[in-house]
Each structure stands twice: as structure tokens, then as C-alpha cells.
Amino acid sequence: MTTDTFLSSKAALDPENFKLANCIRALSIDAVEAAASGHPGAPMGLADAATVLFRKHLKFDAKTPDWPDKDRFVLSNGHASMLLYSLLHLCGYEDMTIEEIRNFRQWGSITAGHPEHGHAKGVETTTGPLGQGIATAVGMALAERRLADEFGDDLVNHNTYVIVGDGCLQEGIGQEAISLAGHLGLGKLIVLYDDNSITIDGPTSVSFSEDVPARFAACGWHVQTCDGHDGSAVDAALTAAKAATDKPSMIALKTVIGFGSPNKAGTAGVHGAALGKDEADATKKALGWTAPAFTIPDELAESWKKIGTVGQDSRKAWEGRLAAAPEDKRREFERRVNGTLPADYEAAVSSARDSLFSEPRSAATRKASQMALEALAPALPEMIGGSADLTGSNLTRVPAVNSQFSREASGRYIGYGVREFAMAAAMNGLALHGGFLPYGGTFLVFSDYARNAIRLSALMGLRSIYVMTHDSIGLGEDGPTHQPVEHLLSLRAIPNLTVFRPADTVETLEAWDCAIRSMNAPSLLALSRQAVPQLRLERTEENLTARGAYVIRQFGEGRDITLIATGTEVALAVEAAEGLAADGLAVAVVSMPSWELFDAQPDAYRADVLGTAPRIAIEAAGKLGWARYVGSEDNVIGLSGFGASAPAERLYEEFGITKEGIARMAKSLAG
């Protein structure tokens, strides 16, 4: 079949949809040509199916893009960003002007190479690292299910649509997400799979040969296949998917990458590079497109603008239902979706502080975290927790967040299974959806599995809370495979992520308080397996952890030496300081639960805390990074390699993280 015959046959299937889809293809071609970089192939191949979705199924209002009960649309294969940007422009999203399309991938534009949440209205999440879009969408579907159960389907009743490519399904996180969604029966999650048989390296047969529909079906999904260029077939499949509410749905769309290109369609050559002027002109001619670059004919432009307004009636009806709801229900719903703290939260924090100061407790900081959750979660109905199959170790389950999220009923506790990456991405989806404050637990050493989703939390400025326990060699006999060494530094290196390593029960409560109040950055709590004494015994109203670091003990007048420590090593530093003071040295012990918060303090405060005397850092982890505070890694008591398998006490002794070792170094530096 010739190219012209093939295109004619596809155009005849749904002529109106084909013409509208060509608007997407033309804009995608023009934008990538102007930028001389980008991925035109997927937008060209997906244009027909995306047009059907926006034209006939997606519930949205381009003039009110943040309407809480709109459908969510996630482009998981984010390299196809011009598909999304074209749709937003054509539908009339006010910020997605033709100038922004012209400036695709340029400095200062909202049309980044991959969609970035917060840059443009209608971009529900940052995508690019393949597989994270679908996993984030699982979190959005979890949020919809739970919020609907809490407030009723008169206020919450929408679908989450996702477009994925082969790459999303080859990444491990894709399978984690598919498995979890199928297990929980997330029936309002609908995935369109762009089955175009092409990867960067060539045909998918190079690396990918499984039966994808069978794989989804095995995970409990409702599965269909259809011609992705047949608008009527896609329409019918989407209608059936919406009706299958007991299972998530996947529609495998057989498409041609670079659809319309006479010489590059169906090849890897159209995946990640501009067509080139000659091929772009030939493609437009083959498609019957005669308009100048970046120009949409008036008739087609008007049709697209109408598509962008179809959801206005649904949105207005929803606003009427919200206004008619009982006042307490309406106010609580608005508070939840706006992310503001409840009125009684302050009292919950104050009461928890009172309890710790009236009855000091020695406890592992993972236990202290559970205590903090027990005190604060009852005041925060938006809290939704979970663990990657380590609940009994992470201690992330408390009475207020005890109901299990299952296929039968949504709850406030999600059993993520051994899926650390998908857990973190789903937490992002919960946070992005609105109405929830997600937290999830695993071992700190397994943060590497979740790291890329944690990074996206920070990039998007989301209010996700990561509970990472077993934070050092102090976990003992499980050995170096489970003992985090480099992880604290690598996590501290992520911009806009606040890492906490609290020293005792009080600092742990304060770290939770900081994390809960952090509206524009995720937080990570590194917590111990072994018990530590409560060091803070005198009540203060100020959250000292919010300062990042502070003097927790002062021995003598002035300073001969400053000991800086985090987590479980703060108590060790205090013990060493007591001995040094007995020998006549003036010693300040600084607890530094958060580098990031300390670095954000005024210069004068930081100078006062650090002092001018020689400094030593003590942390049962890698030494790298501490020189910024103590001048040299020679002044750090920590690890230079991996840990070992032995009881914790023996490990601290063997690696020289002892009060005697601290004292020797302090005396040497104090001169």
C-alpha cells in the first residue's frame, strides 16, 4: 500500500477527527523544526487517539483548568510533550499561546522539552523519566477513590487518563504501577498504550517482545486493542473502558510513529529528531495540510476552542453542588483541596510536646516517629500513609491511619508491597491530586530504589513525606547491604528536599511538624533502629529543629571545641563532651538535624551556632560533605567505606565512632 493510499484509508475512518488531529501534527512538526530538537514521532502517531479523548471523553474546562473534579490527563511518555502542548493551545488554555509553542524548548518558555508541573496549566505532573507518569497517575486514582468515599461522588467523580509508550512499560516502575493498580481495582484509571513498535534503538523487537495486553490482563486489568488511527474505534474503546469500573483499563492502540511522514513514518528516525524541512513539507503535503507554519485554519481552530469549553456545564453543575453542600462539608472539602492545616493542628502539636517534656522517653527515632504520628494524625484527616512492605519495621501505622486501602474499600493506609519506586511516585500523585498529605516508609538504604521519584517530588515542590528507617550501621547484623552509608549525602544533594536526621523524641516530633508545614518541598526523615535517650528535657515553645541546627549542650564558658552531630550520634557527642568538660575543656554540642534548614538561616545565626573554635562532625555514615561545616574530612568521625555484619555496639567500636574516639580528636584539635 502506498503512503497516499494508507493515509487516505485512515482519513476515511473518521474524517472530522482526522482533520482535527492534523492540527496537532502540524504544530508538533513546526515546533520541533523551529527548536531543531524534540520528538515529533509520538505526537504525530498519537494525534488521532488524543483528539478523540479530548473531544469526546475528557471532562475539563480550559478556562478553569484547576477545577477539582476535572479528569486528570497524564502524558507518561513525556518526550511526546508537543502532543500535550498542542492540545492545551488548541483547546484554549490561556497561558499556552502560539508564542509559547513557537518557543518550544527555549529559555523562559513554559513549553519545556518534557512537561513540567507548574510551568503551564493543564500539565498535571512532571514527566520525562519513563514510567513515572503512569505510577504517579496511580496515586491520582488512589486519591480520587479515597476522596470520593469521604465526600461523596457528588463532589468527587472523575477519571485519570494516561498515555504510555513502550519505554514506560519496559522500566521496572511501570510494572510496579500496573501490578498495584490492578490489585487495588482502580477502575477510574484508564491507560492508552501507544503501541508503535519503535524504540530509540530501532524496532521494539530489538529488546521487547512480550504480549503487553496479556501482561495487563494478568495483573487484573480490563484490556482492549484497537487501531489508534480509527477515531470511531478509539471512541468505542474509551466508552467501554469507562464502563469497566471494577478494574483499571488499558487500551492498546496500534499506531504508526511519525504518522504522515512519507520517508520516516514507522522508523526510529522520527523518534527524537526534527523531520527536516524537506520531509516536513512532504509530510504536510501528504496530510493535505496547506496552512503556513504555526497557523491553524479558522474553522479548525474554532472547533478546537469549542472542545475546550464542552466541560463548562459539568464544571458549573459541580460548583452548584459544592455550594449546596452542608457548610461544614463544603468548608472541609475546600480546606483539604487547598492544602491548609486544620484549626486544631496547633493544639495537637502543643499537646504532643507537653507529653514529651512531662514524661521524657528513650526510644528509637523510628518509634519516636510513630509516637509523633499517633499524636498528630488524628488532627489531620488528609494524612494517608503506607509502607513498602515494612510496616512493622518503619512503624508507619497508627490508629488514626489504620484502615486498609483495598479493592473493596478505600482506607488511609496503603500496602504498597515491595514497590519502593512506585510508592514514591504514587505519593507524588496523591499530593498532586489535592486533598491529601501522603507519607510512606521503607529502609533508608532502599531510598535508592525510590530516588528518582523523590527527585521529582523536589522538582515539583510537592508535600510528600518519606519515612526512612534503619538509618545507619546501627541496624547491626543485617550487614552492609542494608546499612546506608552514602545515602544521606546523596539525598542532601537533591535540591529542594529537606532531609531530617533527628536525635531524639523531641526532634522527631519537631521534624514531623516541619514536614507537615512544608507546603512547597518534600521531606525525608532518616530514623534509627536503636534506642536513644531523650536529650531535650526543658520545654521550649520554639521548634528548634526548624532552625536546622542549634546548641543542644554547652559545657563551660566559651568554646575550646565544637562537636556537631546528627541523629543517634548526638547522644554520643554529649557523652564525649561530658568527659571533655571533666578534663577542663569548654565544649559546645551542636545537634544538626537538617543541613538544608540550617543553611537557610541568617548568617549571624549560623556563625553563632558553629562558633570559631575547632569543630568535629560525628555521623555514622559517609564523611563526604561534612567539610563544609568542619573544614576538612579529617575532622569527621564517620565511615570511609561500607559497614559490616555484627551487633551495633561492636560496629561502632570497630569503626571508631565512640566517645573515646571523639575525645581523642577533640583534645588534639583543641591543642
Q: Where are the alpha helices (DSSP H) in 244-364?
A: 277-287, 298-309, 312-324, 327-338, 345-358
What's 637's DSSP letter? E
Q: How far apart are CA 37 and CA 185, in angstroms?
A: 40
Residue 628's Cβ-side half-sphere holds a number of Cα atoms within 13 Å equal to 10
Closest CA to 626 of 492, 442, 463, 451: 492
Residue owning grid cell 533527628: 502
| C-alpha pair distances (Å), 77 with each of 82, 338, 577 | 11, 29, 55
Query: And the C-alpha cell for 223?
Result: 484490556
| C-alpha pair distances (Å), 202 with each of 45, 77, 266, 289 | 16, 17, 10, 29
Query: And the C-alpha cell for 105?
Result: 524548548
Residue 523 near residue 622 (C-beta atoms within 8 A): no
| SS3 state of residue 247 | coil
Query: And the C-alpha cell for 406?
Result: 483495598
The number of residues in the chain equals: 671
Q: Pairing mode, if any, of strands 587-591 and 550-555?
A: antiparallel
**Angle between helix 298-309 and 81-91 (nearest 10):** 90
Closest CA to 630 of 619, 639, 640: 619
420 labelled catalytic: yes
Residue 442 C-alpha from the chain's centroid: 15
Q: How far apart are CA 283 and CA 409, in angstroms?
A: 51
Residue 10's Cβ-side half-sphere holds a number of Cα atoms within 13 Å equal to 26
| C-alpha pair distances (Å), 625 with each of 19, 284, 490, 571 | 57, 55, 10, 21
Residue 620 C-alpha from the chain's centroid: 28
Residue 354's Cβ-side half-sphere holds a number of Cα atoms within 13 Å equal to 7
Q: How far apart are CA 522 and CA 465, in angstroms?
A: 6
Residue 524's Cβ-side half-sphere holds a number of Cα atoms within 13 Å equal to 34
Of 420, 507, 569, 619, the active-site residue reads: 420
Q: How far apart are CA 359 and CA 179, in angstroms?
A: 45
DSSP secondary structure, 463-513, as one string: --EEEEE--SGGG-TT-TTTS-SSHHHHHHTSTT-EEE---SHHHHHHHHH
Beta bridge partners of 438: 384
Q: Pairing mode, if any, of strands 72-75 and 160-164?
A: parallel
| C-alpha pair distances (Å), 437 with each of 224, 401, 429, 481 | 35, 12, 11, 31
Q: How far apart are CA 509 and CA 516, in angstroms?
A: 11
Residues with catalytic roles: 420
